[in-house]
Amino acid sequence: MFAKLYETEEHGQILVMLDSNDENGRPQVKVYFEPDNLGVCSVGLNYNSDITEDEQWSAAEKSFNNFTEEFASGIVKNVKADISGIAATQ
């Protein structure tokens, strides 16, 4: 599995993907959501660059496998709070 889709009452759809960083190809867990008055937004969770790439992939896979709807909703809630001033001015 490389993606999880959650349908939440509070935030709508939240997509969580095990992916790679576009800039350096390193593993990344990405969370996609669409807040009111904005387009699709994403948050990327990166992994410690002091460990090997294989260890980073293992850490990313473990994080992804343990990702829950509640955890994804918490991330979205925090990001929406941080960007609420920006969205209100659009």
Handedness of CA 46, 2, 63, 84 (dihedral sign): positive
CA distances from 50 to 46, 54, 55 (A): 12, 12, 10
pLDDT score for 37? 78
**Which sequence spans correspond to the domains of the chain?**
3-80
pTM, two decimal places: 0.85
Any idea which residue has 């293992």 for tokens? 58
Residues 9-39 have pLDDT tens digits of 999 999 999 998 878 888 999 999 998 878 8
CA distances from 77 to 2, 26, 32, 42, 57 (A): 23, 26, 12, 13, 26
Residues 40-67 have pLDDT tens digits of 999 999 888 889 989 999 999 999 999 9
Cβ neighbours, 10 Å, residue 77? 14
